[in-house]
Amino acid sequence: MIPEGTQPATIHPFKGNIDLGKVEDLLKREGDRVPFGMLTVTNNSGGGQPVSMANIRAYAELLHKYGKPMILDVCRFAENAMFIKLREEGMQDRTPESIAKEMFRLADGCTMSAKKDAMVNIGGFIALKNEKWVEAARNLLILTEGFSTYGGLAGRDLEAMAVGLEEGLHEDYLRYRLRTAEYMGEKLIAGGVGIVRPTGGHAVYIDAKTFLPHLGPQDYPAWSLANALYLEGGIRGVEIGSVMFGKRLEDGTETYSNMELVRLAFPRRVYTQSHFDFAAEVICEVKAKAEQVRGVRIVKQSKYLRHFAAEMAWA
């Protein structure tokens, strides 16, 4: 069992909140080019940080003021709902389910990769309130997967998703899940490893810049650290850094990201405390010999989303 103690000692700010001032500035300048606004709960690339209910509500109101719908990316909606319960004033007596329902009521639609908070092996969905959008999506479905009565997921997977969406909102499960990330974060901080703080709900994010100070951005430190962790202990993480967000320009030069993070995401209901203790030990062992970690170079990349298919070589 992971030690108890979900309630943080201090109430952390909602670092996943969207900057409404910047959104309104954009809508004023280029609103005719904006079809809709999208908000991810929780913020995956920013450390798994939650978004407050107040921010979701204000974002929806701002978008509707300018005639734009709000679409939520709800892969981790249950974790976000639990963070709202724990951290937002006036929410402590509500259930994660009631909080989640309010989040969905504020939105005009949502998309979901169900492998996250629906706890299934495959699949996802798009849900829309506007009937015209639904009809357009169904027509496109015919071209891409098949008619709505037989395309897409098998019945067995749909049933599993229905169960997962309900069980994923159980408060005892969510307390355990959030505490797991917190526990892993505490182990790494004690070992002198820099991470995104506070920990999010589904992952711990290691700061590769401070972990590998001898590597420059051209060495892709987050990718290099992900390699080192896999080679040392079979730990499979993912880079959120310059391979993901940087670009190779036509003149052969590169742009780099300000972030160089390694995300260690936790599958649901899979690992025990001993797994996390092992992972923390491996990470601290790699840190002790960090100067031996080699950088990498991109040998081949695709035009879009290069981090999914890039081929690398040691620097």
String of DSSP letters for 73-113: E-TTHHHHHHHHHHHSTT-TTS-HHHHHHHHHHH-SEEEEE
For residue 1, pLDDT over 50 is answered with no
For residue 142, pLDDT over 70 is answered with yes
pLDDT for 38 equals 96
Neighbours of 156 (CB within 10 A): 8
Burial label for 141, CB within 10 Å (0-12, 13-18, 19+), is middle
* Nearest Cα residue to 238 out of 51, 44, 78, 50: 44
The architecture in CATH of the region 20-167 reads 3-Layer(aba) Sandwich (3.40)
Mean pLDDT of 117-132: 93
Q: Which single residue is written with the structure tokens 């899979």?
A: 270
Which residue has better confidence, 1 or 259? 259
pLDDT for 188 equals 97
- What percentage of the chain reaches a pLDDT higher than 70? 97
Mean pLDDT of 88-112: 97
For residue 59, pLDDT over 70 is answered with yes
Query: Could you tell me the pLDDT band of residue 173, with boundaries at 50, 70 and 90?
Result: very high
pLDDT for 29 equals 96
- Fold equal for 20-167 and 202-314: no
Which residue has better confidence, 102 or 253? 102
pLDDT for 4 equals 52
Class of domain 202-314 (CATH, top level)? alpha beta
* CB of 210 closer than 8 Å to CB of 204: no
pLDDT for 252 equals 79
How far apart CA 66 and CA 86 sit, in angstroms, is 32
Average pLDDT score over the chain: 92
pLDDT for 2 equals 52
Write down the domain spans for the chain.
20-167, 202-314
Which residue has better confidence, 274 or 253? 274
pLDDT for 154 equals 85
pLDDT for 248 equals 83
Handedness of CA 177, 182, 187, 192 (dihedral sign): positive
- 3-state class (DSSP) for residue 155: helix
Write the pLDDT tens digit of every residue in 228-238. 999 999 999 99
For residue 176, pLDDT over 80 is answered with yes
pLDDT for 226 equals 97
- What percentage of the chain reaches a pLDDT higher than 90? 78
- 3-state class (DSSP) for residue 64: helix
Mean pLDDT of 172-198: 95
Residues 6+ apart with CB under 8 A from 162: none
Burial label for 234, CB within 10 Å (0-12, 13-18, 19+), is exposed
Return the minimum-mean-pLDDT range out of 58-62, 81-85, 142-146, 198-202.
142-146
For residue 88, pLDDT over 80 is answered with yes
How far apart CA 71 and CA 78 sit, in angstroms, is 16
Contacts of 248-257 with CB under 8 Å at 24 or more apart are 248/298, 248/301, 254/218, 256/217, 256/218, 257/217
Residue 118 exposure: Cα atoms within 13 Å on the Cβ side: 20
Mean pLDDT of 101-111: 97
For residue 6, pLDDT over 50 is answered with no
Write the pLDDT tens digit of every residue in 21-57. 999 999 999 999 999 999 999 988 888 899 999 999 9
How far apart CA 146 and CA 150 sit, in angstroms, is 6
C-alpha pair distances (Å), 175 with each of 181, 238, 250, 277: 10, 25, 48, 19
* CB of 17 closer than 8 Å to CB of 51: yes
Beta bridge partners of 70: 37
